[in-house]
């Protein structure tokens, strides 16, 4: 990787806000102490880049959003990194001082597994919230390894919910109502605010995904940098438009994350370029590389942040999370939302239709 491509993030951000803090000064001094490697020694260059990123990101506190930000992580294409992105971004934000809830809205229960959250049949789950009017506060579990990271688990029961929801009253609003009353209840009980919510969706556009779209204000689309990556995207965007027109005027695609990126292949580069061309404002600068550590972590019931926090994959998710967090405090953006899809709110300038 070209070192110039790495956004250290420290200088530009600090320049426009406030003078460098002593902590930032210390980090910059350490970063400056690492020798610059040229491309004749690619491995050494990569190690130097990672060392800089580690120094810069370790223990950094991210700014809290103005209000709770609710994301639906969706792509009807399977295996593109929805769950991996949900849990690792959530872990990155939580380890950086924010409070994060992951709602596992996929019967596969992969997000619950990756977060090490109990989700065998019978455990109170998203299914009970959607179908049995159980409050989210009764199903949410806190991660044993990352304080401030919570998960509403999915059990296999959720696979029946698509059909059971069909005949229910206000079937598209059930998750939204549950989240709104959970967030309100926390505030009434004097519990600290949840800063971020990620709803991990199944690879389909059925009622579970519709519920997630009605719940969130922001959609995060992970795109795998492979052939066919953009196929199906227009269908996804059409669906989002339909939801916006009929059920949730505030919904918009705020974030696109390139996943499983392999910079050595022309194909990945081409896909990345095409995505950035179509979605210049939404696509994060950080692309998540293909990484063995990322794929290994779930089998240990862990996110890559705790499994191997210094790995390239963990650093990429930390960087992506920092980009998201910083966008959330920029005054030009209106990302804030508290469990309500009914306000038409102004949308991000760069929204794609």
Question: Least separation, in Å, of the C-beta of 34 and Mg ion?
Answer: 37
* Interacting partner of 339 out of ligand ATP, Mg ion, none (Cβ under 5 to 8 A depending on kind): none
By beta-carbon proximity to ligand ATP, the closer residue of 226 and 334 is 226
The interface with ligand ATP within residues 196-235 (CB under 6 A) comprises 203
By beta-carbon proximity to ligand ATP, the closer residue of 63 and 203 is 203
Residue nearest to Mg ion (CB): 83
Q: How many residues bind to ligand ATP according to rule CB under 6 A?
A: 20
Question: Least separation, in Å, of the C-beta of 110 and ligand ATP?
Answer: 5
By beta-carbon proximity to ligand ATP, the closer residue of 183 and 225 is 225
In angstroms, rounded to a whole number, what is the distance separating the alpha carbons of residues 68 and 337? 6
Between the CA atoms of 6, 11, 14 and 19, what dihedral angle is there, to the nearest 10 degrees?
160
Q: Is 290 in the site for ligand ATP (CB under 6 A)?
A: yes
By beta-carbon proximity to ligand ATP, the closer residue of 132 and 295 is 295
Q: Is 76 in the site for Mg ion (CB under 5 A)?
A: no
Single out the segment in contact with ligand ATP by CB under 6 A; choices: 93-101, 103-111, 140-148, 154-162: 103-111
Quote the radius of gyration of the chain (alpha carbons, Å).
20
Figure out which of the listed residues 72, 75, 76, 83 binds Mg ion, where binding follows CB under 5 A.
83
* Interacting partner of 52 out of ligand ATP, Mg ion, none (Cβ under 5 to 8 A depending on kind): none
Single out the segment in contact with ligand ATP by CB under 6 A; choices: 32-40, 106-114, 272-280, 335-343: 106-114
Q: Is 81 in the site for ligand ATP (CB under 6 A)?
A: yes
| 8 A C-beta contact, residue 109 and residue 141 | no
Question: Least separation, in Å, of the C-beta of 314 and ligand ATP?
Answer: 11
CA atoms within 13 A on the CB side of 141: 18
Question: Least separation, in Å, of the C-beta of 148 and ligand ATP?
Answer: 22
By beta-carbon proximity to Mg ion, the closer residue of 194 and 208 is 208
3-state secondary structure the chain: CCHHHCCCCHHHHHHHCCCCCHHHHHHHHHHHHCCCCCCCCHHHHHHHHHHHHHHHHCCCCCCCCCCCEEEEECCCCCCCCHHHHHHHHHHHHHHCCCCEEEEECCCCCHHHHHCCCCCCCCCCCHHHHHHCCCCHHHCCEECCCCCCEEEECCCHHHHHHHHHHHCCCCCCCHHHHHHHHHHHHHHHCCCCCCCEEEEECCCCCCHHHHHHHHHCCEEEEEEECCCCCCCCHHHHHHHHHHHHHHCCCCCEEEEEEEECECCCCHHHHHHHHHHHHHCCCCECCCCCECCHHHHHHHHHCCCHHHHCCCCHHHHHHHHHHHHHHHHCCCCCCCCCCCCCCCCCCCCCCCCCC
Q: Is 286 in the site for ligand ATP (CB under 6 A)?
A: no
* Interacting partner of 350 out of Mg ion, ligand ATP, none (Cβ under 5 to 8 A depending on kind): none
By beta-carbon proximity to ligand ATP, the closer residue of 86 and 248 is 86
Q: Is 248 in the site for Mg ion (CB under 5 A)?
A: no
Single out the segment in contact with Mg ion by CB under 5 A; choices: 53-61, 80-88, 155-163, 242-250: 80-88
Residue numbers of the site for ligand ATP (CB under 6 A)? 78-84, 106, 108, 110, 203, 259-260, 288, 290-291, 294-295, 298, 313
């Amino acid at each position: 990787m070209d070192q110039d491509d790495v956004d250290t993030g420290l200088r530009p951000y600090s320049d426009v806000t406030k003078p460098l803090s002593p902590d930032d000064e210390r980090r910059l001094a350490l970063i400056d102490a690492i020798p610059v490697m040229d491309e004749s020694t690619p491995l050494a260059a990569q190690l130097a880049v990672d060392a800089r990123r580690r120094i810069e990101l370790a223990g950094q506190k991210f700014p809290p959003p103005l209000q709770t930000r609710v994301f639906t992580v969706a792509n009807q294409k399977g295996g593109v990194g929805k769950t991996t992105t949900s849990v690792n971004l959530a872990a990155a934000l939580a380890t950086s001082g924010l409070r994060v809830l992951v709602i596992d809205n996929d019967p596969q229960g992969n997000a619950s597994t990756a977060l090490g959250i109990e989700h065998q049949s019978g455990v109170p789950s998203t299914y009970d919230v959607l179908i049995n009017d159980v409050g989210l506060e009764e199903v949410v579990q806190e991660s044993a390894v990352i304080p401030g990271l919570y998960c509403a688990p999915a059990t296999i029961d959720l696979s029946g919910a698509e059909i059971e929801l069909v005949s229910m009253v206000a079937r598209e609003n059930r998750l939204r109502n549950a989240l709104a009353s959970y967030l309100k209840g926390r505030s009434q009980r004097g519990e600290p605010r949840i800063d971020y919510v990620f709803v991990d969706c199944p690879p389909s556009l059925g009622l579970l995904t519709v519920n997630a779209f009605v719940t969130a204000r922001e959609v995060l689309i992970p795109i795998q940098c492979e052939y066919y990556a953009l196929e199906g995207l227009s269908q996804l965007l059409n669906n989002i438009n339909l939801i916006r027109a009929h059920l949730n005027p505030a919904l918009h695609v705020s974030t696109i994350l390139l996943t499983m990126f392999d910079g050595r292949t022309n194909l990945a580069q081409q896909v990345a370029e095409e995505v950035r061309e179509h979605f210049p404002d939404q696509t994060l600068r950080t692309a998540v590389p293909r990484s063995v550590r990322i794929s290994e972590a779930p089998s240990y019931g862990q996110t890559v942040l705790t499994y191997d926090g210094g790995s390239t994959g963990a650093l990429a998710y930390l960087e992506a999370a920092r980009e998201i967090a910083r966008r959330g405090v920029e005054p030009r953006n209106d990302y804030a939302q508290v469990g309500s899809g009914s306000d038409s709110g102004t949308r991000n300038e760069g929204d794609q239709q």
